[in-house]
Structure 1
Amino acid sequence: MPPRLRSALSAALLALSCLLVPFGALAAWAAYGLADTGRYVTTMAPLAGDPDVRDAVADALGAGIMREVDHKVHDVRPIRGSVVPFVRDAVRSFTQTRAFRLAWDEGNRAAHDALMRALRDERDGAESAVTVDLAPVTAQVKRQLTRDHVPLAARIPVEHTAVALLPAGELAPLRKGFHVLEVAGFWLPVAAVVFAVTGIALAVRRRRAVTATALGTALGGALLAAALAVGRSLTLADLPADVPHPAAGAVYDALTADLRTVSWLLVGVGLVVALSAWLTRYIPVLYARARDLPARPGYGDEAVRAERGTGGR
């Protein structure tokens, strides 16, 4: 193959490899990171101690409990007036207990399991919305209110109300997209490695090809980190006004923590490999120069005598 054609083909393969790196990392994170229930629950667990998340959960639970009271209990006004302050305080106190952390983990596990089952379900037929039951959390709050002797706390109804996680109409396209991610999450990284190895092997100047590949990988990692930052801003900007942005930001940061680590790892590894490849080009030159230095008779003896003379003074 002519050298010019080899160089052109190598450059094309290396450019394609560098382009696939950030997309491959994103697809692998979505397909194998977010889709794993155990890893998801472990990632979300620390958020049970985040003040913004606790406040958002407390507000949501308190509002839900009072809605149930309004719908199910007669003579609402006297009950609401006496219970609302206790509900608010009890729910906020509950979010600081070990019971809340357990309920948080179980709620996340149940929601994730329901969503993953829906996305992986291949059966034909009518689609139904993805829902999760949060009645166990409400029951724990009710038990705490009862133990605290809050008036009428025992009359707070606890029913198995399905909370919608995903509308039925959005399930089919999301299911197709998830299947695409599962395939892309495996094959995009593999293709990136194959293209890089093939491009370097075809290159006329392989050290230069390695340097270019490493710099392209670092650039891809930097672009991925920038995309995550932009995605965070856009996600928070699109949220409804009643959704607390600090809590949503904390959830976004927790979910994307591994992907941010991967992006900066790509930057670091790429720069280190590029610098190493650039430095190694000078090692043979320095070695050859060291071997070809002409011998200077008496240089060592003169240096020793000069050093001794200086010390004698």
Structure 2
Amino acid sequence: MTGPPAATPGGPAGEEPPPRSPARYGAGRASGAAGRAARVTASAVLIVLTCVLVPVALLATWVHDIALDTDRYVSTVSPLAREPAIQDAAVHRITEAVGAKVNGPQAAADIGTWLQSHGLPPRAADAVKALGPQIDSAVEQAVTRAATRVVDSKAFETVWTTANRAAHQAVVHALTGEGRGAFEVKGGTVTLDIGTAVERVKKDLVDAGISPAAKIPDVNKQLVLFQSDQLAKARKGAHLLDVIGNWFPVLVVVLGTAGVLLARHRRRALARTALGAAFACLVVAIGLVVARHYYLDHLPPEVQSRAAAAAVFDTLLRFLKVSLRTAVVLGVVVALGAYLIGPGRLPVVVRGACDRTADSAAQWAAGYHITTGRAGTWTQAHRRSLTLVALLVVALVFTLWNHPTVLTVLLLVLVLLGVLAVLALLAASGRTTGPTPPPATGPPTGDGGGA
């Protein structure tokens, strides 16, 4: 006797399930393929944007933290007061300013005429009138010596620092508008008013016995530091970078993270993003070198000293160059780390050698009854999580570090390697001294044998 036919998943008892529609199956596959293609495309676009925007984010940070931060700006330009090229240019400009209205031949002619009117023989008066060039030379030497003393003294450093600090708002206007104060920007020319130093030199000349120096009239006392026709064009872009400077780096990190998470092979995507960003920063760094040579080779006549212009250019861009080098090194380090955790032959060999070395050290320590106890066992059980925590902590420290450098990156890498080495040793000790498995038991044996 047989029961009723069993029901099938496809329908009532005894009926075959309806066949799946080929159209619906094909539509499902097409939809899945389209979704994967969209993810891959979005990941590629985000990664490319990240690589391009990393150097832009560094530029935005430089504009915000250097050009718009008074203390950091002053600390950046203060060493220029001791720069030989700047000092030579200042001495030359002060000498020109002080001696601009000193006319040796005219002064000698006036003295000779006055002496002749008081009975000096004509030949002697002519000899006095011929001393004009010597008067010019003597005055110039005296002015140069006085200017050199002023520039070499602490007073010039104080004047330089005070003028830059008081006029820092003009540096902001150098990128966003017209300048004002001692540090002035008009069009594409950046100048510094050295009137205080000129007045100090005039006082020293009067104290040295050159009383006519007190009657030197006011003249142009501007020292041209920088001149570029592109400065005005860069103001709009610099203002935009200033506005988004606080959030732009965060946005770039978010874009890069999203691009890596959307990728099918995230480890490869991370390595490519890091190398792409490093390459972009390297291109910008090379561009700065080319721009420096181009600028110095096309200096306008308003710039009195090529060496001084080079010193100002290098000083103002020093931190940007350091940031670019740091980004390049960081990108290479991240890409190398992503490669070493992968399944490649070399990474597997390196990781295996490290584990074998840790195991050998743990076995040697166990031979001398040196163990880590439960700490080693716990580390072995949670090694992956502890490694991830160490990576996150190092990344957080780097993020919060104020203006990291290449040395910062190398230091953090060494710290991370040290932490990973300690974790490897603890895990190896846990494997060596872990709980001993119970002995295997065979089948029970009886006293009485066979059938």
> If the TM-score is normalised by the length of the shorter chain, which range does it land in?
0.7 to 0.9
Structure with larger RCO (C-alpha < 8 A, sep 6+):
1
Within 5 Å, give how 1:245-284 maps onto structure 2. 245-282=306-343
- For 2:225 and 2:244, locate their aligned partners in 1 and report how far apart those are by CA, in whole Å: 25
- Please report how far the alpha carbon of residue 264 of structure 1 lies from its aligned counterpart in structure 2 after TM superposition: 0.7
| Structure 1 runs not aligned, ≥5 long | 123-127, 291-313
Q: Which residue of 2 aligns with 1:205?
A: 265
Aligned to 1:33: 66
Which secondary structure state, in structure 1, belongs to the residue aligned with residue 264 of structure 2? Answer: coil
Q: 2:299 aligns with which of 229, 235, 239?
A: 239
Superposition deviation, residue 198 in structure 1: 0.5
1:1-313 correspondence to structure 2 within 5 Å: 2-69=35-102, 75=107, 80-116=136-172, 133-157=193-217, 176-241=236-301, 243-282=304-343
Mapped to 2, the partners of 1:289 and 1:81 lie a distance apart of: 80
How much does 1:133 deviate?
Answer: 4.6
Q: Quick check: 154-163 or 234-243, which moved more?
A: 154-163
Normalising by structure 1, report the TM-score: 0.76
Are residues 273 and 161 of structure 1, via their aligned partners in 2, closer, same or farther at CA, if it must alter by over 3 Å?
Answer: closer
User: How far apart are the structure 1 equivalents of 2:83 and 2:223?
Assistant: 23
8 Å CA contact 1:48–1:104 kept in 2: the answer is: yes
Q: CA RMSD in A?
A: 3.6
Task: Give yes or no for contact 1:134–1:160 (8 Å, CA) kept in 2.
Answer: no
- Is the 8 Å Cα contact of residues 282 and 328 (structure 2) preserved in structure 1? yes
Decide whether the 8 Å contact of 1:132 with 1:165 is kept in 2. yes
Using the TM superposition, give the Cα deviation of residue 189 of structure 1 relative to its aligned residue in structure 2, in angstroms: 2.1
**Shift, 1:105, TM fit:** 1.4
Is the 2:55–2:280 Cα contact (8 Å) retained in structure 1? Answer: yes
Q: Shift of residue 47 of structure 1? A: 1.4
Aligned residues: 281
In 1, Cα distance between the equivalents of 2:297 and 2:231? 24
SS of equivalent residue, structure 2 residue 209: coil
Distance in 2 (CA, whole Å) between partners of 1:5 and 1:263 is 33
- Equivalent pair of 2:194/2:222 in contact (CA under 8 Å): yes
In structure 1, what is the Cα distance between the partners aligned to 2:289 and 2:350? 46
CA drift at 1:75? 4.1
Deviation of 1:100 after TM superposition, in Å, equals 1.0
Cα displacement string for residues 161-184 of structure 1 (whole angstroms, at most 9, x for unaligned residues): 7889999x9998665344222134
Match for 1:237: what amino acid? Answer: D
Q: Which amino acid aligns with 2:71?
A: G
**Are the counterparts in 2 of residues 17 and 192 from structure 1 also a CA contact under 8 Å?**
yes
CA distance in 2, matches of 1:120, 1:11: 35
What is the alpha-carbon distance in structure 1 between the residues aligned to residue 167 and residue 261 of structure 2? 48
The structure-2 alpha-carbon separation of the partners of 1:154 and 1:279, relative to structure 1 and needing over 3 Å to count, comes to: same
- Alignment partners' CA distance in 2, 1:170 and 1:188: 24
Scaled by the length of structure 2, what TM-score is found?
0.54
Q: Displacement, 1:134?
A: 3.4
What is the distance in 1 between the residues matched to 2:263 and 2:339? 16
Say which SS state the counterpart of residue 227 (structure 1) adopts.
Answer: helix
CA distance in 1: counterparts of 2:230 and 2:287, whole angstroms: 25
Larger radius of gyration: 2
- Per-residue Cα deviation, 1:240-291 (whole angstroms, up to 9, x for no partner): 255321121111111111011101100111111110110011499569989x
SS of residue paired to 2:42: helix
CA distance in 2, matches of 1:171, 1:229: 18
CA contact (8 A) 2:225 2:308 kept: no
5+ long unaligned stretches in structure 2: 1-31, 109-131, 179-184, 354-451
| Local SS of the residue matching 2:99 | helix
More helix by share: 1
Range with bigger deviation, 252-261 or 238-247: 238-247
